[in-house]
């Protein structure tokens, strides 16, 4: 199979797999929260336990991390969390169009891709924020935290300039619980933006 056709076929398979899992998820939940890049799930298991009124969906691209997260969540007896292997852009493409995140969107210590030639791989980019906004209810907060100061600054600039999001300078971080990367960070900074109405 030619490489482009192969790549398309792989993407279709991934979409189909994610959609199969999503069919079991209460995407119409009145408080639906998303964590992108959940890693080993330290933050989201604690968050979901503290917010039983929400349904929390956590995605990551690394199977092993998700397995550990799922085990933590099972040990804690959580019934309000879903752990899903998916890259953020493919995940959004797999969502039913009527899905709206109404709780919070959480991005903790995303890969910073420090070299300029790799910045295109960063999560917080205008096109991604536009796509995310399509699935986000008005006023829902997007909570971003990183220990990489240059990424903090460019992500802040990108979200501040974006037509679908408004920075919430008075916004308070919703819940503190150290993630793996937070526990290793010497310092970090956060911003919160809200989906414009
Ligand atoms: C630096 S780690 C941070 C993990 C966790 N949030 C923490 O604070 O410990 C970044 C995580 O994002 C995941 N990741 C990278 N690109 C992703 C993407 N496009 N979609 C979803 N997750 C992604 C990685 O696999 C990794 O687990």
How many Å lie between the centroid of ligand 1 and the Cα of residue 1? 31
Res 138: pLDDT: 98
Q: 101-134 pLDDT, tens per residue?
A: 999 999 999 999 999 999 999 999 999 999 999 9
Average pLDDT of 20-37? Answer: 97
CA torsion, points 149, 152, 154, 156, in degrees to nearest 10? -150
Summary mean pLDDT of the chain: 97
Distant-in-sequence, close-in-space partners of 179: CB < 8 Å, separation ≥ 6: 39, 40, 42, 43, 108, 109
Q: Is 179 in the pocket of ligand 1 (CB under 6 A)?
A: yes
Q: Report the alpha-carbon distance of residue 152 to residue 33 in Å, rounded.
A: 22
Burial (Cβ within 10 Å: 0-12, 13-18, ≥19) of residue 80: middle
pLDDT in tens, 150-170: 999 999 999 999 999 999 999
> Which pLDDT value is given to residue 3?
86
Name the nearest CA neighbour of 80 among 122, 29, 117, 119: 29
Q: Measure 36 CA to ligand 1 centroid, in angstroms.
A: 7
Domain boundaries, the chain: 3-195
Average the pLDDT over 3-7 and give the result. Answer: 91
Mean pLDDT across the stretch 43-66?
98
Q: Give the phi and the psi of residue 178 in degrees, each rounded to 5.
A: -60, 125
Check pLDDT > 90 for residue 2. no
Quick check: CB of 88 below 6 Å from ligand 1? yes
Fold held by 3-195: Rossmann fold (3.40.50)
Active-site residue list? 111
What pLDDT is attached to residue 1?
78
Q: How confident is the model at residue 92 (pLDDT cuts 50, 70, 90)?
A: very high
């Amino acid at each position: 199979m030619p490489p482009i056709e192969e790549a398309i076929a792989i993407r279709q398979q991934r979409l189909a797999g994610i959609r199969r899992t999503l069919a079991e998820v209460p995407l119409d939940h009145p408080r639906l929260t998303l964590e992108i890049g959940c890693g080993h799930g330290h933050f989201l298991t604690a968050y979901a336990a503290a917010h039983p009124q929400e349904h929390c969906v956590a995605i990551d691209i690394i199977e092993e991390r998700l397995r550990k997260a799922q085990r933590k969540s099972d040990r804690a007896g959580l019934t309000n969390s879903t752990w899903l292997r998916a890259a953020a852009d493919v995940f959004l493409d797999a969502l039913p169009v009527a899905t709206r995140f109404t709780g919070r969107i959480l991005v903790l210590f995303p890969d910073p891709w420090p070299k300029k030639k790799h910045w295109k791989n960063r999560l917080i980019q205008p096109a991604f924020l536009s796509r995310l906004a399509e699935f986000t209810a008005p006023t829902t907060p997007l909570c971003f935290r990183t220990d990489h100061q240059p990424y903090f600054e460019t992500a802040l600039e990108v979200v501040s300039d974006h037509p679908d999001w408004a920075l919430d300078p008075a916004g308070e971080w919703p819940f503190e619980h150290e993630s793996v990367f937070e526990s290793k960070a010497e310092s970090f900074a956060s911003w919160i933006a809200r989906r414009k109405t």
